[in-house]
Structure 1
């Protein structure tokens, strides 16, 4: 690995890159935000993986946090499809070797494109190749284009591949915006077709008011990002706890029957007994069952919950994988670590 240019001071992100484990240096880097890791993103990642395997090098993802839109427009929260924990799960299931997260802040936004290439790709990561989408831009004023990266790669001795946009069965470009729109509409099935897997959330189970236990439906409660735009309602889900899968039914919303409070993702797992508090769980969302409702009585609510559970069990019993990735994420019982090794 080469040393940084002596005539150029280290950029503020240098410390974060210097912390990258040695095993990821000299690899093939797929570069982008990859929010959602949808089918279009998977084409970029697939090219990087193929190049890495052919060269006998690691395949890594170079991404940014927070989302650039959150930095430039902090008053307009972004519905993140795959915050870092979720993104790590999906990328690892795809077979990538690691994820490098560059802090997106004022310093990075002001960094010239050539400095980005010099200090991140060449001097610190010492990449043998870089793969980007057709519309990837980087550096101050988005001056770093795919063509610019190709030119720098040719000059600095690393290969650059630019991947065309992924399209759906109708020839329409696949985008994170389309996935968000589907989830906001309560259509996780449409989102799953664009993603190639069931959309999932990752979190640590927190204590709630334990009202579900009284109703006969104890729940594992997750607090999602306040910007999560998933439609409030009831869903058929599958959860992974300690490497095992459990079907269930989940309610996401404000509980209008009781407190109308902050949104909470509450999941009742079928055929599970035990303590879930403080455990990390991963929940795949399969189907929207109904909107969030307020009932005339608790008995009416429980009757509807019985019906919801029966419907969820029937749907999940006939669900089939959408892809090999979906199999690994939502159908295989084998334990799966949610994080990359250091």
Structure 2
């Protein structure tokens, strides 16, 4: 990422240079093509007004607050969401702490305390289904009326539909990733699904077999289909490597049950421990298998490498954002 960008906690004062801007509001989990319709409108509006472009989002995801017993596969944790928003051209993301107490605020209080006093907004851009305040009492009509009272603009964006006339949603993308269809998920996201984590030590079995891997723990609720993927791996210094990755749960290695992503980088040797790196998924090659001995495993790994190299040799960016994230 380049240029000035800020991640701002909702309990911090907004820098004066960011007040009066255009603010896109939403959870934006996935920052998918449906979200991009709202986000691009906000960027265009900000450019036309000559003011900063901001995103107001909520952390943690409201579903985690209201249904803590149901694990939620968050597509874009805060760091990745901020990275994507920065790449799109926003000046800042405001991460408002979300709790039952915050959700119990009236819609009017949300307007006055958050939009007017905290952000000093000049205009807000949201989807037509955006609701806020206690019992979701605030909706598009309420927001537009508030804009007239307090002197800020309101732009509402219709739900974005894909080429099959279906609404693009985070739940659809989760389902695709859970079923091993990252290529279709990328079509809805507009870029290759990407995870980010620190490289940690492992059992070093891959090294003894001639396939050393960079191991990354992902959040426990990460619900990718377990198996083998063709991937691109971006190091902390920005260098990019093709590779093949195995995703799964390894209780003997991982005492907290978090899924482990083990990536073999093609044509690379070196120490990656401690680096925070990114892995973008380009294709699902096969499910996990139990092999009859290490020789059979090594032969399959060689076939996986060949298949991944062939797949990655022909890929092209899906969008400008994909080009910046995975190419």
Normalising by structure 1, what TM-score? 0.89
Q: CA deviation at 1:68?
A: 0.4
Call closer, same or farther: CA 1:18–1:211 in 2, change over 3 Å: same
Match of 1:163 in 2: 157
Q: CA deviation at 1:260?
A: 9.2
Match of 1:26 in 2: 20
Q: Is the 8 A contact 2:56 2:93 kept in 1?
A: yes
Q: CA deviation at 1:308?
A: 0.5
Q: Is the 8 A contact 1:29 1:127 kept in 2?
A: yes
1:162-241 matched pairs, under 5 angstroms:
162-241=156-235
Normalising by structure 2, what TM-score? 0.94
1-side partners of 2:267 and 2:87: how far apart?
A: 26
Structure 2, gaps ≥5 residues long: 1-8
2-side partners of 1:191 and 1:16: how far apart?
A: 31
Q: 1:35 aligns with which of 29, 35, 45?
A: 29
Match of 1:287 in 2: 283
Match of 2:44 in 1: 50
Q: Is the 8 A contact 1:153 1:160 kept in 2?
A: yes
Match of 1:272 in 2: 268
1-side partners of 2:146 and 2:196: how far apart?
A: 38
Q: Is the 8 A contact 2:203 2:253 kept in 1?
A: no
2-side partners of 1:197 and 1:260: how far apart?
A: 30
- Segments of 4+ in structure 1 off by > 4 A? 258-261
Does residue 1:251 correspond to 2:246, yes or no?
A: yes
Match of 1:323 in 2: 319
Match of 2:5 in 1: none
Call closer, same or farther: CA 1:265–1:325 in 2, change over 3 Å: same
1:142-161 matched pairs, under 5 angstroms:
142-161=136-155
Total equivalences in the alignment? 317
Match of 2:93 in 1: 99
Q: Is the 8 A contact 1:17 1:100 kept in 2?
A: no
Match of 1:313 in 2: 309
Q: Is the 8 A contact 1:17 1:125 kept in 2?
A: no
Structure 1, gaps ≥5 residues long: 1-14, 332-342
Q: What is the SS of the residue equivalent to 2:101?
A: helix
1:81-100 matched pairs, under 5 angstroms:
81-100=75-94
Q: CA deviation at 1:259?
A: 6.7
Q: CA RMSD in A?
A: 1.6
